[in-house]
Amino acid sequence: MSVMLTKFESKSNRVKVTGLAFHPTQPLLAASLHNGSVQLWNYRMGVLVDRFEEHEGPVRGVAIHPSRALLVTGGDDYKIKVWDIRPQNRRCLFTLHGHLDYVRTVQFHHEMPWILSASDDQTIRIWNSTSRNCIAILTGHSHYVMSAQFHPKEDLVVSASQDQTVRVWDISGLRKNTPNSAPGTFDTFDNFSTVKYVLEGHDRGVNYATFHPTLPLIVSAADDRQIKIWRMSETKAWEVDSCRGHFNNVSTALFHPKHELIVSCGEDKTVRVWDLTKRSAVQTFRRENDRFWVLAAHPELNLFAAGHDSGLIVFKLERERPAFAMHGDTVYYVRDKYVRAYDINTGSDIGLLSVRKFGSPYVPPRTLSYNPAERAVVLTISSDNGLFELTPLPKDAVGEVKDSSVDGKRGSGHSAIFVARNRFAVLNKTSQLIEVRDLSNSVVKTIKPPVQTNEIFYGGTASLILSSTSSVVLYDIQQQKNIAEITTPPVKYAIWSADGSLVALLSKHTITIANKNFSQHTLIHETIRIKSGAWDDSGVFIYSTLNHIKYCLAQGDHGVICTLDNPVYLTRVKGKTVHCLDRSARPRTITIDPTEYRFKLALLRNNHEEMLYIIRTSNLLGQSIIAYLQQKGFPEIALHFVQDKNTRFDLAIECGNLDVALETARAIDRPECWERLAQQALKQGAHKTVEKAYQQTKNFDRLSFLYLATGSIDKLSKMQKIADARGDPMSRFHNALYAGDVQGRISVLRDVGMYPLAYLTAKTNGLEDLAAEILEAAGLTEADVDDIPSYGTSTLKPPPVVTATTDLNWPSLSAGESFFDRALANGNLENGGEPSYVNGFDSAGVAASAALDDWARDEEVHEDLEAEEGAWDLDADGEEVQPGVEQEEELPEVEADLGAGAAPGVSEVELWVRNSPFAADHAAAGSFETAMQLLSRQFGVVNFALLKPYFLSTYRSSHAYLSTLPTLPPLQLHLRRNPSESSPSRVLPITVRTLQSVRSELSEGFRAVSGAKLPEAQAVFRSVLRTLLLVPVSSDNEAKEWRDLVTLTREYLLGVTLEIERRRVAQDEPDNVRRSLELAAYFTHCQLQPPHLQIALRSAIGVFAKANNHATAARFARRLLELNPDPKIVAQARQRIAAGDRNPRNAVDITYDEFTEFEICAASFTPIYKGSPTVRCPYTNAAFLPEFNGKLEPLTQLTEIGAPSSGLPAPRS
């Protein structure tokens, strides 16, 4: 049978564990030992948290309070002790005395302050933990009471005794009455608590009995090696069934808190799992030497603890890790033996497939691999020595969810994954063979892996990752050889990044991040078990351990993002949201703060803009990040985080940013700072800063020397004065010396009484008078000093200043002027900062541009696309597709044997021509002749020369070329309108020109109109009308839209042509005011959009007003007002109307009757009033005077006026 999934094991050196209790919320387990000790373990971390040792002799009963930090224990010293387990307060709070023999079990009530205890003195007692008194004694058992348990909800107690009975007690009386709390009045207690049922059936003493958490059931375990299940009603209780299988005393039996299972343990050294409904054994876990004495279930989690002769184990019955796979933004996962799809964007979560009949009903599937091309999953399960099953998922999850047994394909194997769209690989661990199978589940290839393989993962195209005990191997399936091998602990999961360039290999305590051919990799160690991981979109690996969510950068840097109460299984990380499945396989999201790793990533990629963005928008401060930056060699960046002036100063010195250092030194103003600043500044030659620092520390000597060095004479003389004021002759002398001030020097020497030196100085510098003066002052004459040898003239003087360094500050270290300085100084980035926030892949470069363009376009045209697609749905008519398919399949039957003498088939372009009545489709097919005939018939087109570029570009863009084999001519591939339509009777060429592309061209024309670029506008409108001839329509709506576009464009073309003509007339025949006025007036009758009509009207108003046709101008103005123009234009219009009212006359008489409906002849530009004969353009329907019949239409220059035409053909539906 399967291996027990041991989570934690502790040895207590031949001391048996006799009592166990889980903490309801924390990963703590209390264990009472036979040696009198009570241990508190953190089973997740595997450490002993505390130890309580006051009992004398074995401690048998232990329980943790469901909501408070309390522990109760009962031992062979007859005592019940209550402990405070908080680390800071840990102590025994009180002891309950009263039992007269060993205490077997103890328990807290779930809401009342009651403690229940069972004892060998044949009684069960209930204690009030507040008053610390015994409030009830339940008597009736005639032998040791081995266990007593409260009912999880009702006021019932169940007890098990060596007298071979299980008893249920009604304790509701305890609630109603306040019992007499005076000690010594025990006999009254019986009134409150009575035996409700006595359950007889075991043949030996009963060791344990407990209630079902929700159902009215009891399970008991006895020395007769049986487990019995009992059912209760309001009035009676009876035995339901027994579970037989233990071959020695059964110590404990429990209901599984979540599933319909019973878990038991016994002295036969086994833990067994039973099906509650079938009462059959499900699993058995055996232990070599240790008899099991006690079993405890975690109230919430799938976690059990068992105590045995030499310690305890904590274990799970089943893997909790749900089988799942990500594709795009959808998680395919298994919950409760159903394959489900969860869309992380919409949150939709639907069941797609039942896998209830796959493998053992008690074991959940272990792995799931999803194939997007086939929309199929392959699952594995560990039961039955490993099985896999390949099942297609339903296209849409409506109606009943199918069971995979219907059309699933199965086989045995331990691990199974898709390796290509139509292949999956299955590992058989025992035979060490990997089979590559196709979708019909037949083996196409068998591989003997080069290493002992325990698990296989997808390894990129045609490759597998093989996990062995000490390494992972990247293995090429086609070639059957190792590509690369990395030494790592056994890898349990492999997670590929979205672009397939990196893979994270998870072991129990390590993560290996490798690139796709394993040529580079980093290893990260964790002390805590690693559970799962997912790649962030920016290329950071986010992973979860038992208690943390952490991140790891590709170069190996890692850190904690947040802590977890319970393990989760990460599926996808999107921005701040981590999507995961919890232990019960429910999708959850956790919001994290990605700032830290984003920042580190930006730092690694030198993405300063993003770093700045992060600095601005987050509160990413604190020692850790500063230390990180400093350690990584970025003190100048760290500088920007720091507020604390001391740290700022240190960082500024470290990175040599003198400005900041100076500023902070001022703020700190301590001598040692100034000294350090001076040193750093001196190194950089920033003498002004050095000067400042010396000044601050009153370091006069250095200051003077600095002035000497920089040649600052003025400053030196000032220093002299300062020295004077300070009364420091040495300093004065220095300064005088540095400054070359001989007089000064002499006067210092004189002042300090060093006359000989003063005299000689004066003498050697040729200051005879002064020398004489000194002599006199010293009371001597020339004669007294005539024994002094005569010295030549002194040449001592300071070096001349070559460069006036004093005025030049040396350039400061360039590092100081960083991106951040600029950004911070400007208060912003050039383009406003935030939008430039990008954190994509580096490689995005080229590919991104086209995609972005498209995205931008998508935004604009969204609605149209929908309309178009909607129309296509009409075409997806199942019935008609059928015959096409059949036809295709029939062909080979008939002609299969023709072999070498194969006759050419029908080409796709011929099908296009057959399938479409549109010239566009014929042009795309290259059948220009039929295309022309169609255009001529449908729209009377005769002048095809103009359409040549349109035909050719349509044809050109309908055929792609690809050579699949060398040296042979490439295949001409025909681009279809609907890629999912391959039936010969329905294929159509791609729509090279769409209505939407025409519309965008049209709007260009509008812009030209607004900008008064009339010839351009005319060209655009003509081109639009020509293009429209080669736009196929696919629905009535599109046909209508097409016609509207033709009409609209015609009106604009006519209008623009009129205006061009007017301008020509105005220029060429300035006297012909009348014609000019007429044309302006006609222009206002073209059906333009309001903004353009306003232009036409305003232009007309201007022309008419100028010609003193005020009456008509006023009428135009009124029409203008109806269009609700700008206030400014309104004002002008009102002026015109007023002028017209004042002077309601027209100076020039023109042919213009605005009150009768008319059309404008597009050739002669004259009105054709309603009812007069017209001929029309067969394409645009523009009106012409009858005299133009049979001529070439002047607007589009394509058609013959008045030619018969059938118009746009009906779209195929």
Partner 1 sequence: MDSSELYHVKQQFILGAYKTLVDLTLPDPSSPEYTPLLVYKARSHIALNDTQAVVQIVPADTENVALKAVAALARYVGATAAADKDAALEELRDLCVEIDSDDVEADEREKGYVRVLAGTAFARAGEVEEALETLGVSTNTENLEAVAIVVQVYLSINRPDLARKEFDRAKRWAEDDLLLQLIEASIGLVTGKDAYNDCNSFYTEQLGNPSLSSSHLLTARGVTRLLKGEVPAAKSDFEEAVSQQGGTPDAETLANMTVAAGLGTSKLAEAEQLWSQLASQHPEYPMVADVTAKEALFDELATKFVVPPLAVASA
Interface of this chain with partner 1, residues 235 to 274, rule: CB under 8 A: none
- Name the one residue in this structure whose structure tokens are 């293009």: 1027
Which of 164, 697, 994, 1057: binder of partner 1 (CB under 8 A)?
A: 994
Question: Which CB atom, from 337 or from 516, has the smaller least distance to partner 1?
Answer: 516
Residue 854 in contact with partner 1, rule: CB under 8 A = yes
Residue 1007 interacting with partner 1 (CB under 8 A) = no
The verdict on 87 binding partner 1 (CB under 8 A) reads: no
Between CA 588 and CA 579 the distance in angstroms is 6
Q: What length is written for the chain? A: 1213
Q: Is the dihedral of CA 822, 826, 828, 831 positive or negative?
A: negative
Query: In whole angstroms, how close is the CB of 943 to partner 1 at the nearest point?
Result: 5
Q: Which stretch binds partner 1 (CB under 8 A): 205-213, 563-571, 956-964, 1151-1159?
A: 956-964
Provide the minimum distance between the beta carbon of 1002 and partner 1 in the complex, in angstroms, as a whole number.
9
The least distance separating partner 1 from the CB of residue 601, rounded to whole angstroms, comes to: 24
**1193 lies in the binding site for partner 1 (CB under 8 A):** yes
Report the nearest approach of partner 1 to the CB of residue 1027 (Å): 8
422 phi, psi to nearest 5 deg: -130, 25
What is the C-alpha separation between 180 and 189, in angstroms, rounded? Answer: 8
Which of 300, 403, 1004, 1154 forms a contact with partner 1 (CB under 8 A)? 1004
Residue in 378, 1133, 1201, 1208 binding partner 1, rule: CB under 8 A: 1201
- Which of positions 483-542 make contact with partner 1 (CB under 8 A)? 483, 500, 516-517
Which are the contacts of 727, defined by CB distance < 8 A and separation ≥ 6? Answer: none
User: By C-beta, is 363 or 1201 nearer to partner 1?
Assistant: 1201
Interface residue with partner 1, options 39, 991, 1018, 1057 (CB under 8 A): 991
Question: Which residue in 441, 747, 997, 1037 binds partner 1 (CB under 8 A)?
Answer: 997
Among 51, 86, 258, 421, binds partner 1 (CB under 8 A): 421
Is residue 953 part of the contact set for partner 1 (CB under 8 A)?
A: yes
Q: Which of 459, 455, 481 is nearest to 469 (CA)?
A: 455
What's the min distance (Å) between Cβ of 151 and partner 1?
59
Strand ranges (E), 256-303:
261-266, 270-275, 281-286, 292-297
CB of 990 to partner 1, least distance (A): 7
We find the least distance from the C-beta atom of residue 892 to partner 1, in angstroms, to be 4
CA 1137 vs. chain centroid, Å, equals 64
Q: Compute the chain's Rg from CA coordinates.
A: 48
> Which two structure tokens, joined as six digits, stand for 1213?
């539906």
Residues 1027-1066: b if buried by 16+ CB within 10 A, e if exposed: bbbbbbbbbeebbebbeebbebbbbbbbbbbbbebbeebb
Q: Which of residues 792, 799, 966, 1204 is near partner 1 by CB under 8 A?
A: 966
Contacting range for partner 1; rule: CB under 8 A; set: 293-301, 381-389, 850-858, 1080-1088: 850-858
CB 656 within 8 A of CB 680: yes
Q: Which residues contact 225 (CB under 8 A, 6 or more apart)?
A: 244, 246, 247, 248, 249, 250, 266, 268
Q: Specify the DSSP element, H or E, that contains 718.
A: helix 713-726
User: Is 440 one of the binding residues for partner 1 (CB under 8 A)?
Assistant: no
Query: Applying CB under 8 A, does 299 fall inside the site for partner 1?
Result: no
Residue of the chain from 955, 1042, 1083, 1104 that contacts partner 1 (CB under 8 A): 955
- Cα 1010 from Cα 1012, distance rounded (Å): 5
* 527: region left, alpha or beta (phi > 0 left; psi from -120 to 50 alpha): alpha
Minimum separation from the CB atom of position 4 to partner 1 (A) = 40
The reply on whether position 877 binds partner 1 by CB under 8 A is no
Alpha-carbon torsion 658, 661, 665, 670, what sign?
negative
The C-alpha atoms of residue 805 and residue 809 are separated, in whole angstroms, by 7
State yes or no: residue 310 binds partner 1 (CB under 8 A): no
Is residue 896 near partner 1 by the rule CB under 8 A? yes
- Least separation, in Å, of the C-beta of 553 and partner 1? 23
Provide, rounded to whole angstroms, the least separation between the CB of residue 1107 and partner 1.
21
Q: Considering the complex, state which of residue 487 and residue 849 has its C-beta at the smaller distance from partner 1.
A: 849
| Site size for partner 1 (CB under 8 A) | 120
Task: Specify the stretch interacting with partner 1 by CB under 8 A; choose among 218-226, 703-711, 821-829, 954-962.
Answer: 954-962
Q: Give the range of 113-121, 504-512, 839-847, 1131-1139 binding partner 1 by CB under 8 A.
A: 839-847
What is the 8-class DSSP label of residue 806? G
Closest to 1055 (Cα-Cα) out of 1085, 1011, 1015, 1075: 1085
Nearer to partner 1 (CB atom), residue 604 or residue 847? 847
- Measure the CA–CA gap between 820 and 608, rounded to whole angstroms: 8
Q: CA 254 to CA 252: how far, in whole Å?
A: 7
Binding residue (CB under 8 A) for partner 1 from 89, 180, 452, 461: 461
Among 360, 405, 522, 957, binds partner 1 (CB under 8 A): 957
Residues 351-380 that bind partner 1 (CB under 8 A): 373
Q: Which stretch binds partner 1 (CB under 8 A): 63-71, 381-389, 541-549, 985-993?
A: 985-993
Q: How far is the CB of 1133 from partner 1 (least distance, A)?
A: 33
Site for partner 1 contains 1174 (CB under 8 A): no
> Minimum CB separation from partner 1 for residue 461, in Å?
4
**Positions 901 through 920 that interact with partner 1 (CB under 8 A):** 901-908
* CA–CA dist 438, 446 (Å, integer): 12
Q: For residues 247 and 264, what is the distance between their CA atoms, to the nearest angstrom?
A: 12
Cβ atoms within 10 Å of 1212's Cβ, excluding its own: 16
For partner 1, the binding residue among 968, 1128, 1171, 1173 (CB under 8 A) is 968
Per rule CB under 8 A, is residue 891 in the interface with partner 1? Answer: yes
| Binding of partner 1 by 445 (CB under 8 A) | yes
The runs of H, that is alpha helices, within 132-190 are: 172-176
Residues 1009-1038 that bind partner 1 (CB under 8 A): 1027
- How far is 64 from 29, CA to CA, in rounded Å? 9
Report d(CA 866, CA 1030) in Å as an integer. 21
Nearer to partner 1, 405 or 997 (CB): 997
Give min distance, CB of 478 to partner 1, in A. Answer: 6
**707, 723 Cβ separation under 8 angstroms:** no
Q: Where are the alpha helices (DSSP H) in 384-476?
A: none
Rounded Cα gap, residues 47 and 44, in angstroms: 8
List the one residue out of 1113, 1104, 1102 whose CA is nearest residue 1140. 1113
Stretch that binds partner 1, among 178-186, 350-358, 673-681, 934-942 (CB under 8 A): 934-942
Q: Given the complex with partner 1, which of 661 and 932 has the nearer CB atom?
A: 932
Pick the closer one to partner 1 by CB: 266 or 1202: 1202
Bridging pattern class, strands 114-119 and 28-33: unpaired
Which listed range, 168-176, 464-472, 631-639, 1195-1203, lies at the site for partner 1 (CB under 8 A)?
A: 1195-1203
SS3 annotation, 612-674: HHHHHHCCCCCHHHHHHHHHCCCHHHHCCCCCCHHHHHHHHHHHCCHHHHHHHHHHHCCHHHH
CA 1058 to chain CA mean position, Å: 58
Q: Retrieve residue 53's tokens.
A: 């040792």
Smallest gap, in angstroms, from Cβ of residue 1154 to partner 1?
22
Site for partner 1 in 1048-1107 (CB under 8 A): none
Which one of residues 25, 479, 487, 1151 is an interface residue with partner 1 (CB under 8 A)? 479
Rounded to a whole number of angstroms, the minimum distance from the CB of residue 954 to partner 1 is 8
The two tokens of residue 751 are 């002042």
Closest separation in Å from C-beta 1136 to partner 1: 31
